[in-house]
Amino acid sequence: MASIRKELAEYGLFPKKRLGQHFLVDRNILNKMIRMAQVNENDVILEIGPGLGEMTIGLAKKVKKVVTIEIDPNLVEILKKKVMDYPNVEVVKGDILKMDFNRLLHHGKESMKVVANLPYQISTPLLFRFIESRQLFSTLTLMVQKEVAQRMAAPSGRKEYGPLSIFVQMVSNLSILFFVKPTAFFPPPKVESAVIQISWKEKPTVELKDQEWFKKIVKGCFSYRRKTLFNALKHSELPLPPDTELRIKSIDIDPKRRPETLSIQEFANLAEVLKP
């Protein structure tokens, strides 16, 4: 896989910074990632950002079908040629953040596994989309920026704790499998990466009567995370009741606490008591 540099040169291509292109050149990492995804011959896989198709082909040899999404039109044409001998690979050109998952995954009723080396700049918004559409996916095995993995796993009270931590931990079981050095990529990124695996809980950590309001409360609080809880809410422009401070105290939460100190259950209680 060290020949990826040579292959890119042969096609006259250069990694595009605006697309966050960092090509994995360490075959050991790639094989380990596929192995830990625990794929089998009955699996349908969604891959995002396949690059030159090294992981695509590795997966295609082991699974029923691979649907791979690539935004770079030059790479799409190269991929289609490279996978001509693999009829179980479908190459789709497009922006995964703008795609309708239900239309995209027209493979049948079975859920998919996601195995992907995600471009850094789309990893967080894409994770939120996976959470919203989790009924379509059985597991996610993803390479993300190490800092994103740490935010996902952070407990309350840590500076990394925030909306991503809460929404991931509410509905999933998260494992950080291993870390990856920048030297495993071409060009090497400035930060380390992490391979994570997500499976879904049978029931969310807390039961919510109004999920959308809960999301607004969490995001509103963390939009001003340096402020106290009450001041953050006051600046959030949410339609809050005039006695907000008293309501916060009524559920045994000090309005002067910082948002990152609240547990998921406390955020659920907060959303419920502040509901318009």
145 and 124 Cβ atoms separated by less than 8 Å: no
The pLDDT tens digits for 208-251 are 999 999 999 999 999 988 899 999 999 999 999 999 999 999 99
In the CATH scheme, what is the code of domain 4-200?
A: 3.40.50.150
Give me the chain's average pLDDT, please.
90
Look at residue 104 in the predicted model and tell me its pLDDT.
73
- Domain chopping of the chain, boundaries: 4-200, 211-273
pLDDT at 108: 57
pLDDT at site 114: 97
The rounded percent of the chain whose pLDDT value lies above 70 is 91
CATH number of 211-273: 1.10.8.100
